[in-house]
Structure 1
């Protein structure tokens, strides 16, 4: 049976610290959905440019150019979810559909703030990271949620019985990502390609 993965992390950025404080000090402040062999494709509502917090559309996360590549001791947890072949295909299709939607999918700053206050808020094409992961998995019948996707925080995934902890520790030692820390690739600046 195939698996999809949820990558949880907590950086030391100002935004991550604010999220952690607002959510009562959970272990993690960011959630991503990982697909493919060795979690080779990682998706989330995340920074478009590594050095700027906004815009944060739906992206295929550029792990070598990310904050975590510059901060390899960033704590993370990788959870696996066993799914059927049909569910895996549905999750993949849904993510690709959303990616092809381009700029209409945006980060929901309001949704993130309301989630911290336990107020459900669905807003069409706007998601925050854990809402995106929860929505896709729920829509594809891969994961039953305890409440609305707009109320799912990154730390909530740690409590879900359907998920199995595959790894917890610094991101530089996580399965499938060790090699990026040997490349020494710098951050990409907005409008500029990374140096080789």
Structure 2
């Protein structure tokens, strides 16, 4: 049986995202992972409070509110086996259960700019976290601490399924789901 995970690349429009964009030359500088196409379960590493970029760590993001809802995004789909899906989801749920011990890897983020592989215990930045979770599948991301968000789209088994405002994707998904309910 096959399942899918979704990688959401987004431009949240924050000053921090714009700063990263100045270095990468890319507009979408935040990565999240989701376990359902409706994006009810979206996880990443980022700010824990909307107006406080300093306090960061593991977060369950709200695709229907906060910074993501109005963001420009690319949604990528990665098909995996049921076993891989379960391993990835279990790993994320472990992060969630132990979220107080994790922090944002700001030093590692600067390491990318300096071409240094800086790994810190219990510290991740967004794309490092997503790469770590994807390593529970057949994708082999040798150095999660050097992955930039846009690079996920370069893997051959990862498919782009949407590009645009996240709120428009969510509305389209809702209409499709409602339509399916009426067909039944």
Q: TM-score, normalised by structure 2?
A: 0.87
Distance in 1 (alpha carbons) for counterparts of 2:44 and 2:172: 17
Match of 2:3 in 1: 2
Aligned counterparts, 1:115-134, within 5 A: 115-134=112-131
Residue 85 of structure 1 is aligned with which of 70, 82, 86? 82
1:144 maps to 2:140: yes
Distance in 2 (alpha carbons) for counterparts of 1:170 and 1:78: 10
5+ residue gaps, structure 1: 180-196
Match of 1:102 in 2: 99
Structure (1/2) with the larger helix percentage: 2
Match of 2:168 in 1: 173
SS in 2 for 1:120: coil
SS in 1 for 2:75: strand
Q: Is the 8 A contact 2:88 2:137 kept in 1?
A: no
Distance in 1 (alpha carbons) for counterparts of 2:138 and 2:55: 29
The number of aligned residues is 173
Q: TM-score, normalised by structure 1?
A: 0.82
Aligned counterparts, 1:179-194, within 5 A: none
How far apart are residue 178 of structure 1 and its match? 6.8
Q: RMSD in angstroms over aligned alpha carbons? A: 1.7
Match of 1:188 in 2: none
Structure (1/2) with the larger strand percentage: 2
Match of 1:48 in 2: 48
SS in 1 for 2:55: coil
How far apart are residue 115 of structure 1 and its match? 1.4
5+ residue gaps, structure 2: 175-184
